[in-house]
Amino acid sequence: MDGTILLPLYPDKEGYLSYECPFCGSRFKLCIDEMINNNQNCTVSDLFCPICGLVAEKSMFISRELRNAAEDKAYNYMADKLNTEFGKLARVLNHKNGLIRMTVKPMINRPEKEVMETEEVETRISCKVCNRSVKLLDCAGVSIAFCPYCGVNI
């Protein structure tokens, strides 16, 4: 792949984006500002699930919607490239005196959806240790939550 595919993110009004635990499937929101500052200044690359407390690489927590949107975008990028290249090949082969004829049925692009955050029933809690916050969706109770960044009980 010769380029970078950019995927626009639309956080909620307070700048939070949804994540999904790869272990228990719980959904929660993290503040993009806190994530980006975190990325720039330290080597922390893991997140803890605030519900089950298990830890994995940050990329594992990408939400299903965002993952699907990224896959659709990548698929369309690939389809465009293939359509262009096979189109060129067909034009070369299909000249007047050619012995071989080539028909190209272009790949159809998938519809690209924008991942928009919705306002849901959510509880925002902050960690006293690292001072960063998390919004719990479908709230399972604040008393059993873990900080997604440092993993302590909050």
Partner 1 sequence: MSNLVEMQQRSLDFRRLSSNLLQSNMSNADVNLLRFARFIDDDPYIHDLLHSIIDGVDYDYKECFGLIHLSGWREIRIPVDESCHLKAQYDYIQFILSLKEDRVFREASQFLSKSGNTSDIIRSFLGRAFMPLISFITDAMSKEIINLQEHASLNVGNVYGNAIVQNGNGTVYATANVTAEATELVSRIDRILDQMNSVTGINQDELDSVKDDLESLKEQALSENPKPSRVKKVVAGIRRFGTEVLFRTAATLASNAISATDWSMLLSQADRFMTGLHM
Q: Does 152 bind partner 1 (CB under 8 A)?
A: yes
Reduced DSSP (H G I as helix, E B as strand, rest coil) percent helix, strand, coil of the chain, to 5:
30, 20, 50
Rank residues 58 and 110 by Cβ distance to partner 1 and give the closer one. 58
Where are the alpha helices (H) located in the chain, listed in sequence order? 32-41, 64-93
Q: Round to whole Å and give the CA distance between 7 and 69.
A: 8
Number of residues that bind partner 1 (CB under 8 A): 29
Amino acid at 59: S
Rank residues 114 and 138 by Cβ distance to partner 1 and give the closer one. 138
> Whole-number minimum distance, CB 41 to partner 1, in Å?
5
Interface of this chain with partner 1, residues 63 to 102, rule: CB under 8 A: none
Count of beta carbons in the 10 Å neighbourhood of residue 118: 7
Q: Does 112 bind partner 1 (CB under 8 A)?
A: no
Rank residues 16 and 149 by Cβ distance to partner 1 and give the closer one. 149
> Whole-number minimum distance, CB 33 to partner 1, in Å?
13
Interface of this chain with partner 1, residues 24 to 63, rule: CB under 8 A: 24, 37-38, 41-46, 48, 52-56, 60
| Burial status of residue 31 (CB atoms within 10 A of its CB: 0-12, 13-18, 19 or more) | buried
User: Collapsing DSSP states into helix, strand and coil, what is residue 75?
Assistant: helix
Using CB under 8 A as the criterion, which residues of the chain lie in contact with partner 1 when the complex forms? 23-24, 37-38, 41-46, 48, 52-56, 60, 128-131, 143-144, 146, 149-153
